[in-house]
Each structure stands twice: as structure tokens, then as C-alpha cells.
Amino acid sequence: MVELGFACVDIQPEQHAVGPTLLVTLRVTESSGTPIRAVALRSQVRVEPQRRRYSAEEGDRMVDLFGERAQWADSVHPMQLASLSHMVPGFTDSIDIVLPLPCTYDMEVATGKYFGSLDDGEIPLLFLFSGTVFVDGPKGFAVEPVPWHLEAAYRMPVDVWRRMIDLHFPDQGWIALRRSSIDALRAYAAAEVITSGDLAVERLLKEAGWPR
């Protein structure tokens, strides 16, 4: 039996991706001395919001995610961020691989809301692994499963996520609206001779007395 281990050693923004993407560096180790021919690796990436503290301001921004603070013991649960697949090449002892992790800045998506609510500190991530290991066998290749219990935790600085977003949407965010709301906003902006949707929303908020 092979003895695999996984560790996340670094996460950085992808500088040249079409959309917001993080580059996750995983270290895969094998401690029994068995040469690994390849690994068909699957990784689930979860955010574990219960594993950090939050300021009062951060908590106020997450009311629509988790409710009021008094509810958090029951309402704060892990959130699925992504599912990744990667073919790990052959190695002995250890190898570092880089996995692209696509992200979103849509404020209607739970993880986008969560990341956008944080001022600083770290984002607790958990990688859960499965897949198939290919090794030498008596008649060619033999296969073994990647054990389901293998995982790797990583605390990603909030600044890493913010730098990734700023590469694509500097000082911007995305909110999904119904088509009827978009049409009404455009009609309002045209009638009031407002040159952008952002300025139209800014005026509407000001008329409503926000920020208070």
C-alpha cells in the first residue's frame, strides 16, 4: 500500500488568467518508498468560516449569510468553493503541483459575499482528496484509491484574494439583477441623464439616506 500525504504550501493570484483565478501549490508525498507512476487526483475545496474570528463590522456584512451573531453557532457551516481535477505525474518521495482555482466576485454567490465581507486576517480553507493512484504491478500498472480521509488545511491571507480580484475588477464588484430591474435602472438613468449604472445606484442610495 502506498502512503500518500498532501499539504498546501502556497496560494497566489494567477497574473494572466482570463478571470479571477488562484494558483494553489500542493505538495504530494509518498512515505513508503513506492514509486508513483501517476495520480488521477480530485480535490474538493471548502471554506471553513467557523475557524476564524470576525470584527463587528465584518459580522454586520454577513447577516444575510449567517444571520445575527446569536445564530452563528447553528448557522455558520463550511461552504463549497470548488472541485478540481488534476493528473499528477510520476514521482518518488514528493512532488509539488500547481492547481488553477477559479473564483468569483459575484456578490450573489455565498463565497463571494463571504470573501467580500472580510477586512483582513486569513481565510480558512480545507482541501479534501480522492482519486486513483497508479503504481507498478506484477502485470504492468496496478491501481489503488486515494484514501478519503486525506486532507490539507491552509489559511489564505485575505490580501491574496483581494489582489486577485483587483487584477480583474479594481474597485468593482458584481451583483446579479433580474432583467426587469436592469431595464428599470437603465430607464431611470436615461431619464435623469445619468451616464452609468453605478452613478444611478449612488443617487438612489443617497435619496434613500444611505449610508447612514
- Residues 130 and 34 placed together within one structural domain of the fold: yes
Number of domains making up the chain: 2
pLDDT, one tens digit per residue, over 59-95 is 999 998 999 999 999 999 999 999 999 999 999 999 9
Q: Are 78 and 15 in contact (CB under 8 A)?
A: no
Q: What pLDDT score was predicted for residue 27?
A: 98
Rounded to two decimals, the pTM is: 0.84
Residue 198 structural domain: 177-212
pLDDT, one tens digit per residue, over 122-176 is 999 999 999 999 998 877 789 999 999 999 999 999 999 999 989 988 877 667 7
- Residues 85 and 155 placed together within one structural domain of the fold: yes
Q: What pLDDT score was predicted for residue 115?
A: 92
For residue 108, what pLDDT band results from cuts at 50, 70 and 90? low
Q: How many angstroms separate the CA atoms of 2 and 128, rounded?
A: 18
